[in-house]
Structure formats: structure tokens, C-alpha cells
């Protein structure tokens, strides 16, 4: 238990600092309620059009596809670091990986999921 004392002290000091900062902000901060501040948007700009507009599912599909392909590309970085030590085996494995990724990209493209109407 003696080894955990520095961790407990750090948690205590961090919690105390957070409480002091939040308390000081609450005590010293201004509380002026303005109509623009109480509107749905905090920036104070007037809204243009309805605030509850529908977003098509295509937006979410494109976002998910971007994340999927972006994460897959991240797998290329560790391979690039050790590419010399992997030699021909690593090159062939990464060639297979990139070709599967490319086939998935072509499939999504042919299905029309990347078309933005």
C-alpha cells in the first residue's frame, strides 16, 4: 500500500485543483442572461431555416466509409517502419492487404455509396 501513496496524493491534488477552478469560475463568473445566449445555438447567431432538418443516410454512410478506409490506411505505418526486416514476405502480405482494400474501395464505388446527390 505504501507504493500507492504518490498516486493517491496525485488524485487528491488533481481533484482539489479541479474543484477550486470550478468553484472560482462559479463565484467570479458573470451571469448575464441574454436572449441570444439562451437561444439553441451558443454562438449567438440567428438561425436560418428550420433547426430540425433531416440529414440523409448517405452522409453517415460516407462518414463511416471514410473512417473505415482511414483506419485501414493506418495499418500501413507500422509496416513501413519494419519493411526492410520483413523482406519479400512482408511485401507480399502488404500487397495482399492493399489489394483487398482496393477491391473493397472499388465495390463501394460501383455500388454508388460515394455518390453525393
Q: What is the tally of structural domains in the chain?
A: 1
pTM of the model: 0.51
Return averaged pLDDT per consecutive 10 residues of the chain, 117 residues in all. 93 97 91 69 64 80 89 87 89 92 92 81
- Please state, in angstroms and rounded to a whole number, the distance separating the CA atoms of residues 4 and 88: 49
Find the domain containing 29 and state its range: 2-111
| Cα 58 off chain centre by | 19
- Asked if residue 114 lies in contact with residue 62, where contact means CB atoms within 8 angstroms, the answer is yes
The pLDDT score that the predictor gives to residue 27 is 92
Domain assignment present for residue 79? The answer is yes
Sorted by sequence, the CB contacts under 8 Å of residue 45 that are 6+ apart come out as none
Domain assignment present for residue 6? The answer is yes
Domain assignment present for residue 116? The answer is no
The pLDDT score that the predictor gives to residue 40 is 62
Measured CA to CA in angstroms, residue 59 lies from 18, 49, 56, 112, 117 at distances of 38, 20, 6, 13, 10
Domain assignment present for residue 58? The answer is yes
The pLDDT score that the predictor gives to residue 8 is 96
The pLDDT score that the predictor gives to residue 36 is 61
For residue 35, give the CATH number of its domain.
1.20.58.1610
Amino acid at each position: 500500500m505504501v507504493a500507492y501513496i504518490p498516486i493517491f496524493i496525485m488524485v487528491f491534488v488533481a481533484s482539489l485543483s479541479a474543484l477550486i477552478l470550478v468553484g472560482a469560475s462559479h463565484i467570479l463568473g458573470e451571469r448575464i442572461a441574454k436572449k441570444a445566449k439562451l437561444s439553441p445555438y451558443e454562438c449567438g447567431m440567428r438561425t436560418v431555416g428550420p433547426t430540425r432538418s433531416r440529414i440523409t443516410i448517405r452522409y453517415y454512410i460516407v462518414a463511416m466509409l471514410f473512417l473505415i478506409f482511414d483506419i485501414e490506411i493506418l495499418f500501413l505505418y507500422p509496416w513501413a517502419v519494419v519493411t526492410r526486416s520483413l523482406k519479400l514476405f512482408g511485401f507480399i502480405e502488404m500487397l495482399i492487404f492493399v489489394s483487398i482494400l482496393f477491391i473493397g474501395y472499388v465495390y463501394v464505388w460501383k455500388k454508388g455509396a460515394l455518390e453525393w446527390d
